[in-house]
Amino acid sequence: MTFDVSARAYDEFMGAWSQRLAPQMIEFAGLERGARALDVGCGPGALTVALVDALGAEAVGAVDPSTSFVAATRERAPGVDVRQARAEDLPFPDGAFDAALAQLVVHFMADPLAGLAEMERVTRVGGVCVASVWDYAPGRGPLGPFWEAARDLDPNLTGELELPGVRQGHLAELFATAGFAHVVEATLSAQRAYDSFDDWWAPFTRGVGPGGAHVAELDAEQRQALREHCRSMLPVAPFVLTAHAWAVRGRVRGPGSSERGR
């Protein structure tokens, strides 16, 4: 899935959450100065910028299928090798990086196993690959109130509940199936403050991701009903939301290695 929206629209919708997760992703990967890292599905560059701060621009690569996001990342992270590409077809040679990271991306890959295999391919033997996805269990992810309200109004709606990796243990299963060694699962958490309900609601009207697509499909009456139902499910403003993400780390095996899975 691609996000054919402006970088600003994505920033308002999910970018602020991404900025809070990025340092935790880097810490979970165990990255230190001197390592080379690739940001897979970089979006407008939240993780890329954090990687530059940690490793230096010359040590960072980034890819995304969205033209607007590639342009935004190039502007925000000068000196980084940013390329337009899908996770399933990374334009880098084997073993080019010490680590490959995919923040809030695997569940939107057309073929998650192929995407993880490509991350493994471009990472050196003994290097690490790390991915994170939101926990979509009730009350856990940043989009929880939205999808809970939407399903109340349309019980047949699944939203993002069936995406790969969003349930406990599934992202780790994908890593093990892809052939990584020493697979470790952890939980990352982030908080975001909202001054008003409209600050929370407005990003859903920008057409970003499955949530934005759902709002765009509604007529005016349905959209207003969803808006007000969401309002009823959230605290009185100003409020702070806490969200949780699954994170998984796996190590790249060498040729002929018998190490597999967890």
Q: Are 19 and 87 in contact (CB under 8 A)?
A: no
232-245 pLDDT per residue, tens: 999 999 999 999 99
Structure token pair of residue 135:
């926990």
Looking up tokens 């890292």 gives 37
Any idea which of 75-89, 151-165, 198-212, 235-249 has the lowest mean pLDDT? 151-165
Show the CA angle centred on residue 241, arms to residues 239 and 246, nearest 5°.
175
Element (H, E) at 39: strand 37-40
pLDDT at 70 over 50: yes
135-151 pLDDT per residue, tens: 988 889 899 999 999 99
Please tell me the predicted confidence (pLDDT) of residue 257: 58
* Other C-beta atoms lying within 10 Å of the C-beta of residue 197: 18
Q: Are 200 and 194 in contact (CB under 8 A)?
A: yes
Residue-averaged pLDDT of the chain: 93
What's the whole-model pTM score?
Answer: 0.93
* Other C-beta atoms lying within 10 Å of the C-beta of residue 261: 15
222-231 pLDDT per residue, tens: 999 999 999 9
4-42 pLDDT per residue, tens: 778 888 988 998 999 999 999 999 999 999 999 999 999
Rounded to an integer, what distance in angstroms lies between the CA atom of residue 192 and that of residue 196? 12
